[in-house]
Each structure stands twice: as C-alpha cells, then as structure tokens.
C-alpha cells in the first residue's frame, strides 16, 4: 500500500487565517494531539518572526513525541548576504527543530518584482541556504513557493530552482500552489512532469482560493507526490489551505493509501472540533467527513432508504471518522424520520400516533418553529406525546418588569412555578429581561434540582420571521445550553419575544434534567447521542 506523508501546518499557515490565533501553550496541545494520532510532520511556526513561535519550540522540547517530527519554517537567505549572517536561518538553527522547511521563489516574476534581485542570485540563495542548514544536521524541506504559476510562466527557470535545492541536498521538494488558482489537470500534469526531472521525493502545498485545494492535493499524489501539506479544518490565509480533515480520509478510503493509522481516523471529528475550540472558531457544519451536517438527513425519501441500508445515502460509515448519523425533523420530513428517531431513542412505535405527531410538527414548523437546531425541544415533544414523560415543573404565573432610572435600564422577573405539587414564588434581576427570567427560573429550581448549577446558556439567537409585520412580527428564539460535557438546542416561537424566550429556556432546563437524571444507562446513551452539540 503506497504511503503518503501527512505534514500539518495549522500552527503556522493555519494561524494566518483571519480571526485565528493560538497561544504557545495551545500550539503545544495541538502538536501533541497530532503526534498522538500519527501525523508525520508538524510545522510549529517561524522562529525568526515572533517570540511566541520561538516559545513553542522551547516548550515542545519538554515532550517526547512518538510519531511526529517538528518542523521550523523560514525563508532562504536574503539577497546579498551569506547564510551565516542571515538572522532568519540562524533562528531556525537555534530553535532546535530536527526539520527545517524553507521557502524560496520559483516564479521569475516574484524574483524580479518581490525579491528585487536577479534570477541567478535567487538560485544562489536557494542552494546556499539548503547547504547551510544541512551542515547543521537538519533535514531540509524546500517549499517552492508559487511553483505552479512559475512553471506555467517559465518552466525552465522554475525547474532550475528545484535543481538548486536538489543539488544542495534537500530531503523533500514541495511544490506550492500559493495563489490557489490552478486547476486539477494543471496540477497533475505539472507534478508528473517534475517527477521525471527531479529525483527527490516531492510534496504538494495547495491553497483554496478556487475551492480546489483538496482536489489539487489528491491529483498531485496520484501524479507522484509523496507528501501532502495542509491544515486542520482548512484554516489559512485568504480562503484557507488544503483541508487535512478531507484529504486524509480521501487518501485512505478512496485512494487506498496509507496515511495516519486507521484507528486514528476514528478521532478525526474530535480533532477537528478540538482545534476549532482552541481557535475560538465555530465548527463548520457543512464540512465534509467531520462536520455536524456531513451525515445529516432531512428528506423523508432519504431517511426511508437509510432505514433499509445506510449506504443508500452515505458514502462511508460516519463512525470511520468519528462522526455520527443524524436525522432531522422539518416540514420535509416523512414518517421514516420519526421511525428513525424512535429507534434512536429506543421508544415504542405507534404508526397512527406517529402520523398525528408528524402533522403537528409540520404545523409547528409552518408557525415558525425549527427543530433542526433544537433537537432538545423535539425530543421533549416526542416524550410528552407517547412516552409518559412528566414535566419537572410547570408555570403558574410570570411577570417581567423593565424600569429605566437615571438613564439605566433595570430588569426583574417574578415567577410562580409548581414543582411536584409545591408552589415556589420568587424573583430575580438580570442585565436584561431574558437574563432575569433565566436567573429567576434557576433560583426557583435550585433547591429541587441542584444539577442545574452545571447548565449554562452558551448561545441565544433571535430571528424575526415576518419582517413586514414590524414590531408585531413572529420571532423565533434558539437557545443553546451546555453543561461542560455536552450542548443541546431548544426553541421557542411567539409574537412576544419574552414568551418565545421563556419557551426555549424552559425546554433547555427540562431537557438538561432529562439527560442528567436518566438512570437507565442505555437510555442515557441514547439521550446524549441525539443533540446537535458536542459530547
């Protein structure tokens, strides 16, 4: 089985994406996770560019890696000076990484207009930089920046830059589609041509400006590249880099090639979310393989076929990449969607009741409810209808007071609820009416359900459904709640934003209690497996 080296540059190229930053300790955490999963190379950063990257290289030395080799990134020497005098190359040596990845110009246009030097001097820069780093005992990967554009413009000179790196002893030569504008057929033909000219193992580094970084990386491997560079979740400058979360399973499952260990692929979804969390970026639901919607099914026809055989609408088993199948409920749903949900929750089936419930759900969606992002509310409706579910509390009275004093707005909520026959009457303030409602509800319930202390509202969204109705429009409130381990969504709809918020808040607490208080281990697993959030 052919082996492809996986080179991760999330910690350097990925951080060039807009809004993405990692602390030195975050970078160490990611590097350790990548090593654990069997990645071959992890690029830690550019030690000559900032103190944080140099700190990473110092911190990572405290850990003994099992699989990955740490790479330090940098450029060839500057024009007109010796490598020994180049501070960038000196910093690469000082950082202590075993592998140096240096980039140089392979496009004559860049040499003349960006470096402002001669074509011959550029070749000297490449050759002398590689020789210098090799003498320091480092493995050297040469990143041929803008190679595919350079090859299209002047193939003779582009190849001359590769020969300079080869003759100097480079261990890998990486062909870069730095502008991300080349098509797969161009990538394939160029890599195949280079492979006949250059006898050093080739790699590929693609950007995603034409939405082709994954495809271009795959065809480069098919044309002879033995290393693929990319980032987790495709993070990177402009439109991002080649997404390793797509490339790795494609190479493994579709191309029959060895990448990281197959058992590690079962942790790919978790890795994607782990990096998203540290980057403080919301995971992309539509991301192939690892996204929350990658194996989500909505149309009734699809779900009906899935019940017969999942292969009808899934190209792989989601568990192979650590993801899971989800069936959505909406106005497009059929009975099959409800059957699937009943099986997922281990509830009894009742065909006529299901038809009635399905019709009710469709009517609710017509009113503005949306259960795709609020599966907590959806499951509560299922259980209330057919599973003998008992609500943990009921509302008897609610009052919200909003007062402005001295230019400051004060909000207070007064509620009266019934908990197992006992009436509790309490009030609480908040920085807004919804916050006051949340505080009052928790205050009333904490004596009966101390578990709610671990539940926290993590997201609150309001959507106006009929803008033309102005201030009298129907609004939908979506609430996401988490307990430190999992998160779940709930929904409320009304022409009154307070009422809609109350509905969503009540469901969020009720669903959290249902999950936490389930004593049946099997049922608990079913419950924790349904929501849209992460566990």
Judge if 206 and 334 occupy the same domain: no
What pLDDT score was predicted for residue 216?
Answer: 98
110: tokens are 């860049």
The residue behind tokens 């494609």 is 250
Is pLDDT above 60 for 211?
yes
- Give the residue, 1 or 534, on which the prediction is more confident: 1
Residues 495, 479: Cα–Cα separation, whole Å: 17
Point out the domain boundary residue: 329, 360, 383.
383
Q: Using 50, 70 and 90 to split pLDDT, how confident is the model at 464? A: confident
Judge if 432 and 351 occupy the same domain: no
Residues 508, 488: Cα–Cα separation, whole Å: 8
Q: Using 50, 70 and 90 to split pLDDT, how confident is the model at 283? A: confident
What is the percentage of the chain residues whose pLDDT exceeds 70? 86
What CATH code is carried by the domain that includes residue 85?
3.20.20.70
Point out the domain boundary residue: 409, 433, 448.
448
Residue 497's closest CA among 361, 402, 428? 402
What pLDDT score was predicted for residue 141?
Answer: 98
Judge if 358 and 214 occupy the same domain: no
Judge if 228 and 342 occupy the same domain: no
Q: Using 50, 70 and 90 to split pLDDT, how confident is the model at 365? A: low
Is pLDDT above 60 for 241?
yes
User: Under 8 Å CB-to-CB from 304, ≥6 apart: which residues?
Assistant: 334, 336
Q: Choose the weakest-confidence range: 135-144, 168-177, 253-262, 303-312.
A: 303-312
User: Under 8 Å CB-to-CB from 530, ≥6 apart: which residues?
Assistant: 344, 345, 375, 379
In a domain, 388, yes or no: no
What pLDDT score was predicted for residue 35?
Answer: 98
User: Under 8 Å CB-to-CB from 209, ≥6 apart: which residues?
Assistant: 179, 180, 181, 238, 239
Is pLDDT above 90 for 28?
yes
Binning the chain into helix, strand and coil, the percentages to the nearest 5 are 45, 20, 35
Is pLDDT above 70 for 534?
no
In a domain, 249, yes or no: yes
In a domain, 427, yes or no: yes
In a domain, 10, yes or no: yes
* Model pTM score: 0.74
In a domain, 119, yes or no: yes
Judge if 313 and 232 occupy the same domain: no
In a domain, 9, yes or no: yes
Task: List pLDDT tens digits, range 393-450.
Answer: 999 999 999 988 888 888 999 999 999 899 999 999 998 999 999 999 999 999 999 9
Judge if 300 and 161 occupy the same domain: no
Residues 375, 458: Cα–Cα separation, whole Å: 16
In a domain, 531, yes or no: no
Point out the domain boundary residue: 210, 234, 260.
260
Q: Using 50, 70 and 90 to split pLDDT, how confident is the model at 300? A: low
The residue behind tokens 């007062």 is 403
Residues 294, 291: Cα–Cα separation, whole Å: 5
Q: Using 50, 70 and 90 to split pLDDT, how confident is the model at 522? A: very low
Is pLDDT above 90 for 376?
no
For residue 47, which phi and psi values (nearest 5 degrees)? -65, -20
14: tokens are 């990925």
Judge if 371 and 404 occupy the same domain: no
Q: What is the mean pLDDT of residues 226-250?
A: 98
In a domain, 227, yes or no: yes
Task: List pLDDT tens digits, range 243-277.
Answer: 999 999 999 999 999 999 999 999 999 999 999 98
Is pLDDT above 50 for 475?
yes
Judge if 415 and 379 occupy the same domain: no
What distance lies between CA 476 and its chain's CA centroid? 26
Number of domains making up the chain: 3
Query: What is the extent of the structural domain holding 319?
Result: 296-383
Residues 27, 57: Cα–Cα separation, whole Å: 10
Judge if 40 and 71 occupy the same domain: yes
Judge if 301 and 251 occupy the same domain: no
8 A C-beta contact, residue 180 and residue 140? no
Judge if 239 and 339 occupy the same domain: no
Judge if 342 and 248 occupy the same domain: no
What CATH code is carried by the domain that includes residue 400?
3.30.160
8 A C-beta contact, residue 125 and residue 79? yes
């Amino acid at each position: 089985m052919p082996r492809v080296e996986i080179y991760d540059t999330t910690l350097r190229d990925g951080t060039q994406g807009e809004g993405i930053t990692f602390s030195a300790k975050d970078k160490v955490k990611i590097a350790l996770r990548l090593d654990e999963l069997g990645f071959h190379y992890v690029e830690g950063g550019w030690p000559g560019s900032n103190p944080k990257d140099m700190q990473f290289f110092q911190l990572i030395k405290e850990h003994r890696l099992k699989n990955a080799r740490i790479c330090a990134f940098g450029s060839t020497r500057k024009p007109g000076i010796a490598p020994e005098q180049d501070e960038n190359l000196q910093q690469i040596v000082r950082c202590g990484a075993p592998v140096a990845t240096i980039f140089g110009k392979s496009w004559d246009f860049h040499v003349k207009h960006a470096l402002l030097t001669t074509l011959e001097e550029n070749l000297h820069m490449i050759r002398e930089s590689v020789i210098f780093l090799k003498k320091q005992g480092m493995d050297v990967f040469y990143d041929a920046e803008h190679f595919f554009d350079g090859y299209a413009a002047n193939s003779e000179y582009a190849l001359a830059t590769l020969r300079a790196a080869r003759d100097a002893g480079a261990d890998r030569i990486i062909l870069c589609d730095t502008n991300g504008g080349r098509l797969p057929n161009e990538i394939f033909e160029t890599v195949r041509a280079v492979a006949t000219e250059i006898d050093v193992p080739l790699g590929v580094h693609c950007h995603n400006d034409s939405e082709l970084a994954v495809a271009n990386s795959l065809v480069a491997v098919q044309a002879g590249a033995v290393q693929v560079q990319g980032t987790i979740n495709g993070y990177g400058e402009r439109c991002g880099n080649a997404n390793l979360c797509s490339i790795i399973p494609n190479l493994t499952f579709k191309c029959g090639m060895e990448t990281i260990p197959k058992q590690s692929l079962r942790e790919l979804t978790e890795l994607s979310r782990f990096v998203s969390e540290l980057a403080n970026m919301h995971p992309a639901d539509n991301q192939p393989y690892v996204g929350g919607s990658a194996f989500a099914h909505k149309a009734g026809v699809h779900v009906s076929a899935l019940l017969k055989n999942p292969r009808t609408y899934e190209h792989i088993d989601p568990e192979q990449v650590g993801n899971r199948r989800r069936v959505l409920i909406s106005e497009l749903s059929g009975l099959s969607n409800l059957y699937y949900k009943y099986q997922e929750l281990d509830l009894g089936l009742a065909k006529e009741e299901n038809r009635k419930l399905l019709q009710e759900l469709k009517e609710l969606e017509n009113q503005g409810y949306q259960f795709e992002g609020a599966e907590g509310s959806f499951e509560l409706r299922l259980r209330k209808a057919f599973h003998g579910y008992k609500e943990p509390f009921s509302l008897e009275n609610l009052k919200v007071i909003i007062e402005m004093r001295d230019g400051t707005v004060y909000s207070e909520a007064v509620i009266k609820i019934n908990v197992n026959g006992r009436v509790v009457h309490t009030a609480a303030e908040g920085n807004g009416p919804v916050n006051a409602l949340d505080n009052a509800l928790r205050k009333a319930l904490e004596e009966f359900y101390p578990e709610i202390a671990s539940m926290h509202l993590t997201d609150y969204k309001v959507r106006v459904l009929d803008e033309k109705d102005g201030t009298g429009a129907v609004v939908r409130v979506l609430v996401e709640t988490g307990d430190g381990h999992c998160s779940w969504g709930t929904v409320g709809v009304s022409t009154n934003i307070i009422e809609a918020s109350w509905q969503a808040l009540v469901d969020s607490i009720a669903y959290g209690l249902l999950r936490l208080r389930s004593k049946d281990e099997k049922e608990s697993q079913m419950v924790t497996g349904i929501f849209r959030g992460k566990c």
